[in-house]
């Protein structure tokens, strides 16, 4: 098939555009100086408020102070916030665990949630947050424990009151400690088969055994129960002692972010947190450590081979080196004072770390990755300071290898990495390169979006321990000043004698002789090959010198940050035959004319009367008060964030949507190009071919795209059953040129060659094969989606075709998959109407020349029979994984605003109750939650558990018992509780989008699904406002109780081998002969309880096809809505 416009467009691309690739090529060998004006960009990026540096476009206000008890506080006021958040970080972690009780700090983190003297109920804190639209979490690291939450702003003070009691008077009761111990063990069990954890613990085991880094930090039932009991250690007494020793106000940092004024937030702190005791705890991490360095010279210069769980082929070069601080002048640690008696030369700086991370992670010509890819030895290279502690840090270089690279060229790859490090060392610290990094950081900081309150509070509380207060907002964005000595000191620390070389590959199985104590990782250790060290010491060879180069100046650093004025779109313009016969053409395009006309041919839309409603307490009133507004005109102030996109052009085979940003005022543009066609994924084989094609394109683009990517321009792409999407986003300055470069590249197969094809094919095979090692709950989730809908292909179905696919078949895809695809383009942000039309024209020149129209087959959802329970349980494909999982899902009806509101409110009501009963009380598993979801427009509600102690059949029974008691809770729900749920749901639903990414993502989701339901949030909130308690109970009783008339239940489970042996006993081997690759089916019939059979007719499922071939299907999404 010929594309007449393609040659013409490509010719224009070559003659009129300076492509990214051409720009990079033109620069090779030129004078390496950069004209970037860092100081000017920094001046534009930073303003100061109350002594704190913040982004010039940041409208939030900040202040900091220290309470009399020594607690340092950062306050953030944002009057627009519907939700407020808080975080408190304690500067203590598992490095302070008593050597005889590993995991105690983590155990204490769990215990603080389970009641205080003022609020003794175990679930009081979590339930209060859940009832008022909030969430909470905590984490423990080597040197920190961080607690955080968010909640509706109206209830911030009450939530803070409950939160503050964790640190004033926790109960820490013995009986709850014994029960919560199982939760810690479940969390540990969940991580057992995580290769990153396994590698990290092998690394830890090789450190100085007297240093706390060598210890096991998570804890489990062995370290927190079995061993202490055997040795007569009172863990509960140790828990109390740990709390009394380290949970001191002078070791804590508190962050509050809310809509209240700074003065009110300060009152909250003084009222609620002043009673945290200050025990004047000393720094728990002395430097130098009295037990010696974490890694002495004797422990370095080793090679470690590890057998991974997944098919991993990686080389990890880890350099345990000096600690990292913001800059050598501040050296802020712990309580904020400068450490005494330290030689500043033994501190790396964030600037030096960033410099080396950028240098080693380059992807452009001359980089280490470019060199390794050309030899088909590696797929990616990344570098960073991966871990930082008070007395040392770890700089990591990770190479993801090909099979050839990992089996035949490990020494060659390592030698190449150190050859490049030698080239960097010889070149010295390049100020112009550091300036480019600083310039891009300043630009990003200037135009950064407001952080979500929850993550903002969490991150800032942690960083208050490490950054000077005046830099608390800017330090993680803005590079400190150029420090040549610091950079050269860091370069000098990266030598083979000072590293640990960790190689991970399946081929080591049976060839290693050691086993790590906690994660049972098999590994071996030996000294680095003397010949390798000698070869590295000689310096780069001629081949390396010919290919490995220092970077050249980046020509894609944005220069213009001008904002375009708002333009009122004209009414929909139609071109070609669509104008003459719109309805017929819409049908041919698979667009439902009623949906497009509703969204595109009407210039009016529903809106709230009060779009900015933070000041209004009655949320029902807010949701019920709606008006019609003109979507072609700019709305006043911040209200414009609610104005939907406008359909401004409809051609024979394309639609153009636009939404100009007038709210966030950033010089950024996002362009979404959606190519609708079933050809991309019409079968497992075709899906696989498309996947290989776009992965080849990505690899061909890698080098030429890199300068643009680090300058804030980038692209993503994806395929599904309805088509293929390309997203181009970044600073508006060069977005049109970049868009054409990207879309043209997706029609260019000239870079496809056999070696590259084999490498990409190997990567895809590895990725698909590794799905077998996903968590049991992840497996169950995927199986659920496969059971519930058609046109979804499993990894096994795709792998069956992979070996026989040829390079020529993939080259032929360029003509096949794009033929007749229907185009839909959405331009958002700092973009004009004319620019958006030009973008569409560019897309049409590459993809839209064939007017034949390719059929789009939308996926459909199975319509399960009422009063039946479909049960599919399979054996876990990873036989070593000790966890089982179950999902008990209920199918409801097609999505509608009232039903969506009901499901969301039911989730809010049930989430904490379900968690508390099955996780906290029954300790079934660490992962335990309830949620609603939709598949192709059909609403479902699911209960999920992953457990290391129980099988899916048992978990299903316990979930059913919960549902039975849950009904009593629904019936006993009072009007006040229900009103809180309604209020919270409406508040969450009607929160305005906080940044360009979230607003654009919401609009695009409505375009991508073809429903154009831009006002669905408002309609759902409106429906919730009209929901009564009686309505809520009636809907619940339709779908969930055991005798509910519309009960449609689907059980999907993944059973661990150890649980299957326990369940089937001596019949296990016979059963598994035929059930290794499918569900257990009717085998489970004899293991179901008599009570379980009363919940509906049991349909045992052996294969997914059993369901799909015998079940009716709902119509596609659009037909349901229409």
Is the pLDDT assigned to residue 330 strictly greater than 90? no
Residue 789's beta-bridge partner residues? Answer: 861
Strands 626-630, 604-608: pairing is: antiparallel
Residue 754 has a pLDDT of 96
Report the chain's terminal Cα–Cα distance, integer Å: 35
pLDDT band at 629 (very low <50, low <70, confident <90, very high): very high
Beta carbons of 88 and 163 less than 8 angstroms apart = yes
Residue 575 has a pLDDT of 57
Distance CA 773, CA 771 (A): 5
pLDDT band at 31 (very low <50, low <70, confident <90, very high): very low
C-alpha of 973 from chain center: 36
Residue 613 has a pLDDT of 72
Residue 27 has a pLDDT of 34
Beta sheet of 723-731, edge-to-edge order: 573-574, 646-651, 654-660, 822-829, 668-676, 723-731, 714-720
| Position with higher pLDDT, 479 vs 614 | 479
Burial 1053-1073 (b: 16+ CB within 10 A, else e): bbbbbbbbeebbeeeeeebbe
Is the pLDDT assigned to residue 1104 strictly greater than 80? yes
Range list of H helices, 519-644: 530-537, 542-547, 577-580, 582-588, 593-600, 619-624
**Degrees, nearest 5: CA angle 453-457-459:** 120
Q: Which of 340-344, 719-723, 1093-1097 has the lowest mean pLDDT?
A: 340-344
Residue 879 has a pLDDT of 87
Is the pLDDT assigned to residue 17 strictly greater than 80? no
Is the pLDDT assigned to residue 325 strictly greater than 50? yes
Is the pLDDT assigned to residue 1122 strictly greater than 70? no
Beta carbons of 739 and 837 less than 8 angstroms apart = no
> Mind listing the pLDDT tens digit for each residue in 715-734?
999 998 788 999 999 999 99
% pLDDT > 90, the chain:
77
Is the pLDDT assigned to residue 954 strictly greater than 50? yes
Strands 46-49, 52-55: pairing is: antiparallel
Q: Tell me which H or E stretch contains 353.
A: helix 350-361
Residue 607's beta-bridge partner residues? Answer: 627
> Mind listing the pLDDT tens digit for each residue in 805-850?
999 999 999 999 998 888 999 999 999 999 999 999 999 999 975 6
Is the pLDDT assigned to residue 20 strictly greater than 60? no
> Mind listing the pLDDT tens digit for each residue in 870-889?
999 999 988 889 999 999 99
Residue 289 has a pLDDT of 78
pLDDT band at 170 (very low <50, low <70, confident <90, very high): very high
Helices vs strands, H then E, count in the chain:
43, 34
Is the pLDDT assigned to residue 13 strictly greater than 50? no
Q: Cα–Cα distances in Å, from 777 out to 309, 405, 551, 928?
A: 17, 33, 44, 10
Beta carbons of 368 and 390 less than 8 angstroms apart = no
Phi and psi at residue 730, to the nearest 5°: 150, -165
The highest-confidence range among 378-387, 564-573, 590-599, by mean pLDDT, is 378-387
Residue 721 has a pLDDT of 77
Residue 318's beta-bridge partner residues? Answer: 396, 500
Is the pLDDT assigned to residue 207 strictly greater than 80? yes
Beta carbons of 806 and 752 less than 8 angstroms apart = no
Distance CA 990, CA 871 (A): 38
Q: Cα–Cα distances in Å, from 227 out to 220, 231, 677?
A: 10, 6, 61
Cα torsion 864, 870, 873, 874: sign? negative
Interval 403-413 mean pLDDT:
97
Interval 959-974 mean pLDDT:
94
Q: What is the mean pLDDT of the chain?
A: 90
Q: Which of 166-170, 673-677, 854-858 has the lowest mean pLDDT?
A: 854-858
Determine what percent of the chain falls in helix, strand and coil, rounding each to the nearest 5.
45, 20, 35
Beta carbons of 1087 and 1063 less than 8 angstroms apart = yes
Cis peptide leading into residue 703 (ω within 30°): no
Residue 1076 has a pLDDT of 63
Beta carbons of 102 and 94 less than 8 angstroms apart = yes
| Position with higher pLDDT, 154 vs 1121 | 154
pLDDT band at 1107 (very low <50, low <70, confident <90, very high): confident
CA nearest 94: which of 205, 214, 179? 214
Q: Which of 128-142, 327-341, 1054-1068 has the lowest mean pLDDT?
A: 327-341
Is the pLDDT assigned to residue 1033 strictly greater than 70? yes
Beta carbons of 9 and 848 less than 8 angstroms apart = no
Label each residue of 422-461 as H, E or C: HHHHHHCCCHHHHHHHHHHHHHHHHCCCCCCHHHHHHHHH
Beta carbons of 433 and 551 less than 8 angstroms apart = yes
Give the up-direction half-sphere exposure of residue 960: CA atoms within 13 A in the CB hemisphere.
Answer: 22
CA nearest 111: which of 162, 172, 166? 172
Residue 848 has a pLDDT of 75
| 501-504-509-513 Cα dihedral, nearest 10 degrees | 30
| Position with higher pLDDT, 585 vs 1085 | 1085
Distance CA 491, CA 356 (A): 8
Is the pLDDT assigned to residue 588 strictly greater than 80? no
> Mind listing the pLDDT tens digit for each residue in 220-253?
999 999 999 999 999 999 999 999 999 999 999 9
> Mind listing the pLDDT tens digit for each residue in 771-780?
989 999 999 9
Residues in the chain: 1122
Q: Tell me which H or E stretch contains 350.
A: helix 350-361
Angle formed by the axes of helices 1068-1075 and 1057-1064, nearest 10°: 130
CA nearest 218: which of 947, 926, 1059? 926
Q: Tell me which H or E stretch contains 314.
A: strand 314-321
Is the pLDDT assigned to residue 22 strictly greater than 60? no
Residue 8 has a pLDDT of 31
Interval 512-536 mean pLDDT:
96
Is the pLDDT assigned to residue 985 strictly greater than 90? yes
Q: What is the DSSP string of 602-644?
A: --EEEEES-SS-TT-S-HHHHHH-EEEEETTSPPSGGGGGGPP
Kindly list the catalytic residues. 109
Residue 790 has a pLDDT of 87
Is the pLDDT assigned to residue 345 strictly greater than 90? no
Phi and psi at residue 386, to the nearest 5°: -75, -25
> Mind listing the pLDDT tens digit for each residue in 856-869?
777 889 999 999 99
């Amino acid at each position: 098939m010929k594309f007449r416009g393609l040659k013409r467009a490509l010719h224009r691309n070559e003659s009129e555009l300076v492509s990214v690739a051409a720009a990079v090529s033109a620069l090779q060998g030129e004078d390496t100086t950069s004209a970037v004006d860092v100081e000017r960009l920094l001046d534009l990026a930073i303003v100061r408020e109350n002594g704190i540096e913040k982004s010039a476009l940041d409208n939030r206000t900040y202040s900091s102070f220290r309470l009399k008890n020594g607690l340092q506080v950062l306050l953030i006021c944002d009057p627009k916030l519907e939700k407020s958040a808080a975080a408190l970080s304690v500067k203590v972690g598992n490095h302070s665990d008593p050597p005889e009780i590993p995991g105690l700090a983590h155990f204490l983190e769990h215990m603080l949630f389970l009641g205080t003297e003022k609020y003794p109920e175990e679930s009081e804190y979590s339930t209060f947050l859940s009832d008022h639209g909030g969430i909470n979490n905590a984490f423990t690291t080597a040197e920190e424990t961080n607690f955080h939450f968010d909640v509706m702003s109206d209830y911030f003070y009450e939530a803070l009151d409950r939160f503050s009691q964790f640190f004033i008077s926790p109960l820490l009761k013995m009986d709850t400690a014994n029960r919560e111990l199982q939760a810690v063990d479940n969390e540990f069990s969940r991580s057992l088969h995580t290769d990153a954890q396994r590698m990290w613990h092998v690394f830890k085991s090789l450190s100085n055994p007297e240093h706390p880094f060598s210890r096991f930090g998570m804890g489990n039932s062995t370290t927190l129960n079995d061993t202490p009991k055997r040795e007569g250690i009172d863990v509960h007494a140790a828990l109390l002692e740990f709390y009394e020793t380290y949970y001191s106000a002078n070791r804590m940092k508190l962050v509050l972010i809310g809509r209240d004024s700074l003065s009110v937030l300060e009152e909250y702190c003084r009222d609620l947190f002043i009673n945290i005791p200050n025990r004047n705890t000393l720094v728990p991490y002395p430097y130098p450590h009295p037990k010696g360095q974490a890694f002495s010279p004797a422990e370095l210069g080793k090679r470690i081979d590890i057998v991974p769980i997944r098919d991993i082929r990686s080389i990890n070069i880890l350099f345990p080196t000096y600690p990292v601080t913001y800059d050598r002048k501040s050296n802020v640690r712990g309580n904020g004072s400068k450490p005494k008696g330290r030689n500043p030369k033994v501190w790396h700086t964030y600037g030096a770390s960033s410099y080396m991370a950028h240098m080693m992670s380059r992807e452009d010509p001359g980089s280490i990755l470019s060199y390794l890819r050309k030899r088909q030895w590696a797929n990616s290279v990344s570098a960073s300071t991966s871990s930082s502690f008070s007395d040392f840090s770890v700089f990591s270089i990770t190479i993801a290898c090909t099979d050839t690279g990992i089996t035949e060229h490990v020494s060659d790859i390592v030698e190449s990495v150190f050859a490049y490090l030698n080239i960097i060392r010889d070149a010295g610290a390049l100020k112009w390169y550091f300036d480019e990094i600083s310039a891009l950081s300043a630009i990003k900081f200037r135009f950064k979006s407001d952080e979500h309150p929850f993550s903002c509070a969490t991150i800032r509380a942690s960083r208050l321990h490490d950054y000077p207060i005046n830099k608390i907002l800017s330090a993680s964005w803005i590079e400190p000043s150029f420090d040549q000595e610091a950079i050269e000191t860091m370069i000098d620390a990266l030598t083979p004698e000072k590293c640990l070389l960790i190689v991970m590959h399946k081929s080591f199985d049976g060839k290693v002789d050691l086993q790590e104590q906690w994660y049972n990782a098999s590994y071996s250790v030996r000294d680095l090959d003397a010949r390798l060290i000698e070869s590295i010491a000689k310096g780069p060879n001629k081949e390396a010198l010919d290919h490995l180069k220092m970077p050249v100046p980046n020509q894609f650093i944005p220069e213009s940050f001008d904002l375009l004025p708002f333009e009122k779109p004209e009414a929909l313009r139609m071109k070609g035959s669509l104008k003459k016969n719109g309805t017929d053409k819409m049908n041919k395009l698979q667009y439902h004319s009623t949906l497009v006309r509703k969204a595109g041919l009407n210039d009016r839309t529903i809106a709230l009367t009060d779009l900015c409603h933070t000041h209004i307490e009655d949320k029902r009133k807010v949701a019920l008060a709606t008006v019609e507004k003109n979507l072609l005109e700019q709305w006043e102030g911040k209200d414009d964030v609610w104005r939907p996109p406008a359909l401004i052009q409809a051609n024979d085979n394309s639609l153009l949507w636009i939404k100009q940003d007038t709210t966030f005022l950033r010089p950024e543009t996002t362009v979404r190009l959606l190519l609708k066609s079933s050809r991309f994924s019409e079968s497992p084989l075709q899906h696989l071919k498309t996947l290989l094609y776009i992965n080849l394109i990505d690899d061909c683009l890698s080098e030429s795209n890199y300068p643009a990517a680090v300058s804030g321009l980038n692209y993503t792409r994806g395929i599904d059953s309805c088509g293929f999407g390309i997203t181009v986003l970044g600073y508006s300055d060069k977005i049109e040129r970049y868009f054409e470069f990207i879309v043209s590249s997706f029609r260019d197969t000239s870079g496809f060659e056999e070696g590259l094809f084999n490498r990409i094919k190997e990567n895809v095979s590895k990725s698909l094969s590794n799905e077998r090692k996903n968590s049991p709950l992840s497996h169950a989730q995927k199986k659920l989606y496969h059971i519930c809908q058609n046109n979804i292909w499993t990894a096994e179905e795709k792998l069956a075709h992979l070996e026989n696919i040829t390079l020529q078949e993939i080259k032929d895809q360029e003509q096949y998959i794009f033929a007749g695809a229907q185009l839909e383009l959405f331009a958002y942000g700092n973009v004009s109407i004319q620019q958006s039309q030009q973008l569409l024209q560019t897309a049409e020149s590459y993809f839209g020349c064939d007017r034949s129209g390719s059929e789009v087959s939308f996926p459909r959802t199975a319509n399960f029979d009422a009063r039946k329970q479909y049960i599919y349980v399979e054996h876990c494909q990873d036989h070593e994984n000790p966890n089982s999982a179950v999902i008990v899902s209920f199918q409801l009806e097609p999505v509608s605003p009232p039903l969506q509101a009901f499901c969301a409110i039911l989730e809010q009501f049930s989430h904490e109750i379900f968690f508390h009963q099955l996780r906290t009380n029954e300790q079934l598993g660490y992962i335990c939650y309830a949620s609603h979801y939709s598949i192709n427009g059909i609403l479902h509600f699911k209960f999920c558990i992953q457990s290391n102690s129980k099988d899916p059949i048992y978990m299903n029974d316990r979930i059913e018992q919960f549902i039975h008691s849950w009904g009593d809770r629904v019936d006993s729900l009072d009007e006040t509780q229900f009103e809180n749920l309604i209020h919270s749901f409406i508040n969450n639903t009607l929160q305005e989008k906080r940044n360009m990414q979230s607003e654009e993502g919401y609009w695009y989701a409505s375009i991508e699904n073809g429903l154009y339901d831009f006002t669905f949030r408002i309609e759902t909130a409106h429906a919730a406002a009209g929901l009564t308690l009686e309505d809520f109970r009636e809907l619940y009783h339709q779908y969930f109780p055991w005798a509910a008339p519309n009960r449609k239940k689907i059980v999907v489970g993944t059973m661990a081998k150890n649980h299957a042996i326990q369940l089937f006993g001596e019949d296990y081997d016979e059963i598994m002969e035929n059930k290794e690759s499918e569900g257990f089916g009717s085998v489970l019939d004899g293991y179901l309880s008599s009570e379980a059979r009363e919940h509906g007719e049991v349909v045992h499922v052996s294969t997914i096809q059993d369901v799909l071939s015998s079940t009716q299907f709902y119509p596609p999404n659009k037909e349901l809505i229409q």
